[in-house]
Structure 1
Amino acid sequence: MRTPVQPKKPKYIPFGYKLMLTYLVFVIIPVIAIGFFSHSMYQDSIRQQTRSNIQGTLLQIRDNIEYKMSDVERVSSMLYQDYYLNLQLRIKDEGWESYERLVNIILPKFDIAINATGVNIAMYLFLKNESFPEMYTSENPVLLERDYNLYQFNRIKDKPWYKNFPEEKYGGTKVWKSVELDSEFNRISLLRRLVDNVSPLRLKETGFMRLSVSIDELFQSVDYRKIGEGSILVVKDEHGKVMYQSGILPNDFAYDTIKDTEYLTIKENMKGPSWELVAYVPMTIMERDSAKVRMFLILLCLICLIVFTIAGMFISRYFSIRVTKIVSVLNAFREGDLHKRMGYKGKDEFSQIALALNEMGHNIDQLIEQVYVTQLEKRELELESLQAQINPHFLYNTLSSISRLAKFGEIDKLHRMVLDLAKFYRLSLNEGRTVIPVRSELEQAQAYINIQTTKFGEAVSIYFDIDPDIIKYETIKLILQPFIENACEHAWFGDSIHIRIVGELEGNNIVFKIIDDGIGMSPLLIKQIFDPVEGLNTGYGIRNVNSRIQLHFGSEYGVTIGSRPGIGSTVKIVIPAQLPNRKKRT
C-alpha cells in the first residue's frame, strides 16, 4: 500500500526565541523607552531654558535700542515742546532783529538739543519762516554728526516722504524712516514736525525736523555673539524688511523658509515703531549641552541591553533546551519513531513531562503494534474471503457449460474446456499468493477467453491491445476475468459480441480497459452495481474486484464504468505500477 503523505511541518518561532522576545519586551524595551523619554524631557528642558535665556538677552538688546531711540526722540521733544522756541520761529522780522533772534534765541536752543544726548545725531531743520537764512555745515550726515543744518521749508514740501507723512496729532506724530542720503550711508532718521503749540486743538506747522542716526550705532547692541556662535540677530521694520543683521547667513538660508527643526526662532516687538527683533538660533547650540547627556544615556542603555540580553540568553537557553527535547520527542512520535526517549534529572515539571512522554510512547507503540497486526490479519482475511467468493461463481458457470457440452456429445470442445479450466485454476491458485505478475493475469484472462470461445465459437471475438511496458509490473489476481465474463454473459446485442482488452501505462499507474459493443447499461444500473444496498443482486463480481483493488492499493484506485444503452460499455481498471519484489508501502 502507499505510504501516507507526511504533512509539512508548520513553521513556528522556537520557545527560546519567544521567551527571549518576551524578556526583551518587558525588560529591554522599557529601559530604552525610559532612556528615550528621559533624553526627550531633558532636551525639552534645555530648549526651554535656552529659550528663556535668549528671550532675556533679546529683552536687554531691545531695551538698549529703545533707550537710544527714546534718547533721539527726547531731543526732538525738546524742540517740539518748547513753546518759546516755536513762538520765536513764528515771528517774522526783517534785518537785524531777525538775525539777533536767530543767533541769541533759536540757535542756542538747537545747540543745547543736539548736545543733550550721547547719540551722534545729524540734525536737519526745515523752517517755514522765510526771514531766517539757511545755514548748513555739510550735506553728508556723517560729517554733520553732533551738528545741524537750517533750510528753508520749500526744500522738502514736494518730497514724497514729506507728502506721505501722517496727519499731526499733538505729541505723538513721529516716524522712523530712511530718507534722502540715509540709505547711502546706512542711517535712519526720526521725522517730526515743529508746531505752534499755543493750542493743541489748532496746531500750526512752523517747520520740520529730521534727526539722522547711524543704524550701526542705533543697533550697536544687536550682536549675535551674545546668543552663541552660528546665531543670527535681525531687526525688521513694519513691512518685514531686514533693517539690520548680525551674524553670517548660510548660503541656502532664507528667512521665509526656516524650519523649526533647524533653527529656534524667538521674536521681540519694540515699543513705538512696529519693529521686530528676531533671533535665529541653530538647534546645534542647544544640542551641545544635551549631547553629553544623550551619550551618557545611550551608553547606559547599551550596557543594560548587553547585560540583560546575556542574562536573557542564559535564561531562555536553560528553558528552551528542555522544551526542544520535548518537541523533538513529540516530532519523533508523530513521524512514527515511538522508541525515542528522554530523561531529566530533578523533580521539576520538565522531569514529570519527560516521564509521562516516555510512558505514553511505550504504551502507544504497543497499541500500534497490536492494531497493526490485527489490521493485517483482517485485511488478509478479507482478501481471501473475496477471492474465495469469486472462484465458486466462475467455477459454477464453467461446470454448467461443460455439462451442456457433455450432454450434446461435443467431446473435443469438452476436452479443450477442461484443459483451459485446469490452466485457469493453476494460475489462479499461484501457490496461494494474492499478488501476481501482470503477465500471469493476462495468461489467466486468456485461459478464460479460450473457455468462452470454446463455448460460443465465432460469436465471441476478443482482442488484446497490451502495452509491452506493463508486463514487468505486478497486480492482484483475477481483476480482468470477472469483466470479460460479465460481457460474455450479459452484454449480447444480436448474434455476436466483440470485446477489446487494453492495457497501458498512464503516469505511475496501469490502466486496463475492457471495451465491448454490447447492449450497454443505463446510469441507474451502473449506480446500482457500485451500491452494495441497491445492487444487492446486481454486479456482485464488479463490486468484488473494486473492493479488492481498493483494499490492497487504496481508495484512489479501482473500477469505473462508462456506458450508453445500445452502444456498448467500457470498464476502466486503475492500479499502481509496482515492480515485483518491491518493498511494500504501508
Structure 2
Amino acid sequence: MKFNYLPIGYKLMLSYLVFIIILVSVNGYVTHSMYDSSMREQTRGNIQGTLTQIRDNVAYKTDDMVRISSTLYDEASFVDSLKRRVSGKENNIRMEQVLLPKLESASKSIGVNLRLSVYLHNETIDERYYVYKNGNKYDDIQTYNIYWMSRILSADWYTSLPAEEHGVTMAWKQVEEDADGGRISMIRRIVDLSDPLHVTEMGVMRFSVPLDELFESVDYRKLGDGAMLMVKDRAGRLIYSSGGPPSDDLSGSYLTIENRMQQQDWTITAYVPLTIIKQEAERVRAFIIGVCVVCFVLFTFAGAFISRYFSKRVTKFVSVLNSFREGDLHRRITYRGKDEFSQIAVALNGMGEDVESLIHKVYLTQLQKKEAELEMLQTQINPHFLYNTLSSINRLAKFGENEKLQKMVVQLAKFYRLSLNSGRTLIPIHAEIEQSNAYLDIQKVKYGQRLEVTYDVDPAVWPYETIKLILQPFIENVLKHAWSGDRIHIRIVVKLEEGDILYRIIDDGLGVRGERIRDMMSGKNDNESGYGIRNIHQRVQLQYGAEYGVSIFSRVGVGTSVTIRIPARKRRLFARGEETAG
C-alpha cells in the first residue's frame, strides 16, 4: 500500500459507518423537531407575510419621496434656473415663477408632514425658510425652505455623502433638527448633467418626514402581544421600534425574522416570543437510542460484506486504468459474469484499442482548425484603405502638392511594412502603436487640422506583445462614421491593468445606439463596420480565449469608447532577458 492510499474496500466500509451516523442523526433530529419545527414554520410564514406587507407599506412612502425628489433632480429647467447668477428683477422673476412654485408643488405632492429643504451653491438666490420650534404653527404642515450651501459645507451629514451616481445616490439620515423632532431625512444632490463628462453639484435637497408617519405600518400589534418590531440601518443602528426596547439576548426566547429594504438598506426585524411546544423530550430520546443500536449492528455487518464484494472487482479495473495512464494501452481485463462489471470490462478493453488513435486525431484536427481560422481572420484586412489612399495620392499628384504627396507615400510604405511584419501574427506593442500612428499620419494629410489625435500610453506596456492590426480598423471606423461636424478628436489609450493589456479608442463623435452595438457584436449587422468589429473580436478570442475581446460603450451625441482586452504576455526577447538576469 502506498502512503496515504486507502483501498476501496475500506472506503466502502467507512461510508457505511458514516451512513449509520447520518441515519441516526437524522432520525434524532426529525423526531425531536417534528412538533417544534412545524409550529415554527407556520409561525414564521405568517410573520414573514406580515413583515412583507409592512415593508411594502414603508417602501411605498419612501418611493413616493424618491419620486418627488426626481421631479427636481431630472427637471432641466429647474436646474438651469439654479445655474443662472442674476439679481434684482430677474432674480425675483426666477424666484416667483420657477423656484418657489416648483418647491411648493414638491413639498405638497404627498400626504405626509413633509419639510423640504434645498441648499444651493448659487448665493444670488434668496434664502427663505421657516423656524421650527415647539408650538410653531409650521410644525405640522408641509413646508419648504431655501438655504445657502455655506450653512452645511462642514456638516458631517453633507461631507459623508457618497460620490454621485446618476439617479442612484441618496441617503436616509437624521440630521439638523430631525433627532429632536422625531424625524428622518432623505438627502439627495441636485446636479447639472448638461456636460455628461463633468457632473456639477448645484446643491442638496433634504426631505424630512416624521418617523411616526413614515413607519406608521410598523406596529407590533399586527404580530401579537409580546412581539417587537425594529427598523435598523446598515450599521445596525436603531431607527424606529414598536413594542418596547428588546433585551440584549433574544436568540433563546424569541423567534427572529428579518426583511430587508434594498433601496434604503434598512432591515425590519420581528421578535416573536416562543411559547410553543418543547415537550416529549424523554420519549424522543429513548426512540433515538433504540434506532442507534439496531442500525449500527445491521449496517456494520452489511457494510463488511458489500465492501469485500465490490473491492475485489474494482481492484481489477484500477490496475488496467493505471496501465492506460502510464501509456500502456495494450493491457486487457478478463472478467467472468453477466452483470454491469462485465459490460465495463468489454468497454474498457475496446477503449484501450481506440483511445490512442482518437487522441492524436482529435488533437491534431482541432489544432489545425484553430490555426486555419486564425489565419483566415487575419487575411480579411479591409483593402478599401489602400484604394482610398492611392486615390488621395493621385489627387495630390494631379494638383502638384509634392510635399504632401511625398509624406503620404512614405507613411503608406511604413504602414504596410509594419502591417505585413514578415507574416508574423504577434508583434511588439510599440510596433502596433507605430503602425496606427503611420495610418493617422496619412489621414492627417487628408483631413489637416480637422483631425486631432492624442496618445496616452503607459510605458509599462513596452515589454509586451500583441496581435497585429487591432487598432487601425477601429480608427478607420471612427473616420468613416463618427464625424459630427467639421472636426473630430481621437484619443488612444494603452495601459497595463491587473495582468491585462487594455487598448481604448475614444472619440467625441456622433455615438452609436445600444441596439446597433448589440447587432454588430451578435452578427445581425452585416455591414462593413460590424464585420470588421467581429473580425477583431474573433481574432482576439481565437488567440487568447473567450474571456478576452472587444467591448463598446457609446452615448449618442457624446462619443464612443472601444476597449480591447488581451492578456499581458512578454515578448520572447524580454522573457529571455529576465531569465538571464534572474
TM-score range, shorter chain: 0.3 to 0.5
TM (normalized to structure 1)?
A: 0.43
TM-score (norm 2): 0.44
Q: Choose 1 or 2 for highest CA Rg.
A: 1
